[in-house]
A and B are shown apart, each in its own frame.
Chain A
């Protein structure tokens, strides 16, 4: 019984968008997006600033509701039930500057009991962060690393990362990508990573989705696109979006 239920869950796409539209006043942040993301994949959501990446992630996370169209996360409309299985890491730092690294982990753990303290310890070391450091005193790169420590310490089925590499130093970027690859569990997890810095991140993607002006300009399996076009995702990004 248990097993068949789990298999059914796994066969359900992690995310399914149909005719998704999001309007802010007169502008259409998303303008009719159809997209299926299978469970167990690492997906690159690629587009310029203002292309609708953040809006799409927020809708999937259940933080915004669509103006039209449907969203299904593990077959359900985003809400209380899906939020237990989804982590959204915003680009903007939402942490209190007076907290220390360890205090923050405790704090997040208090409302997300699925956070694994053990994993947080391991990741903290891997990311070169000290428990007693004040968040306000961390560099931008260190804050980005900390965000990953917190996010990856929760065993969420769907992780949404908004621009985890933007504006941070190369060593931090390398560490973050390494941690993402090392911690990703394809048996049950799905990662959606938005970025406009394609070059470094592209080897970790299974699937890429190019967004332009709220529409999907191109999407597909990254390796298949490399084989059929002879181009990197970075080159395609320039061709498709500029």
Chain B
């Protein structure tokens, strides 16, 4: 697991985002055990308190649950994961649109690009 950290914004939020995206894309399966706070802290070289906060927030989203003495697990609720996937897609879409507008693209031009997308075989 790799973490790319921008020290100019809260680190717990970036760790949280990383996990949300990884759960959305199926990197972690429903019900799978996540690494421990200490393992993530060591891998990312980030304060364990910061990682603990990211895990707490992850639990609040309903995407993971902590079982006392066992660790943190991805939810088995497929609706929650589907909703997270949708949210993440919306977010990436919004980021994409923002970048395209910065480039000076109009909605019509973006649509033209999108219409060029081939259907998957």
Verify that A and B bind, or say they do not.
Answer: yes
Seen from chain A, the residues whose Cβ lies within 8 Å of a Cβ on chain B are: 40-42, 174, 177-178, 181-182, 184, 186, 199, 202-206, 223, 226-227, 230-235
- Chain B: residues with Cβ within 8 Å of the partner, total of 19
Within the complex, what minimum Cβ distance (angstroms) separates B73 from chain A?
23
Which residues of B have CB within 8 Å of A203?
5, 7, 11, 44-47, 50
A186 touching B49, Cβ below 8 Å: yes
Interface membership of B9, Cβ < 8 A: yes
Within the complex, what minimum Cβ distance (angstroms) separates A20 from chain B?
26
Identity of the chain B residue whose Cβ is nearest the Cβ of A235 in the assembled complex = B8
0/1 interface trace, chain B 96-110, chain A, CB 8 Å (1 if under)? 000000000000000
Which among A174, A182, A223, A234 is the interface contact of B50 at CB below 8 angstroms? A223
Seen from chain B, the residues whose Cβ lies within 8 Å of a Cβ on chain A are: 5-12, 38, 41-42, 44-50, 53
Residue pairs across A and B with Cβ atoms less than 8 A apart, 10 shown, are A181-B41, A181-B42, A184-B48, A203-B5, A204-B45, A204-B47, A223-B11, A226-B8, A227-B9, A227-B10
A181 touching B10, Cβ below 8 Å: no
Given the interface pairs A178-B42, A181-B42, A182-B41, the reply to whether A226 lies near B10 with Cβ below 8 Å is yes
Which among A174, A181, A184, A233 is the interface contact of B7 at CB below 8 angstroms? A233
Identity of the chain A residue whose Cβ is nearest the Cβ of B15 in the assembled complex = A203
B42 touching A232, Cβ below 8 Å: no
Within the complex, what minimum Cβ distance (angstroms) separates A34 from chain B?
24
Which residues of A have CB within 8 Å of B50?
203, 206, 223
B46 touching A230, Cβ below 8 Å: no
Within the complex, what minimum Cβ distance (angstroms) separates B50 from chain A?
7
Within the complex, what minimum Cβ distance (angstroms) separates A206 from chain B?
6
Within the complex, what minimum Cβ distance (angstroms) separates B7 from chain A?
3
Identity of the chain A residue whose Cβ is nearest the Cβ of B49 in the assembled complex = A206
Within the complex, what minimum Cβ distance (angstroms) separates A225 from chain B?
9
B47 touching A232, Cβ below 8 Å: no
Identity of the chain A residue whose Cβ is nearest the Cβ of B39 in the assembled complex = A182
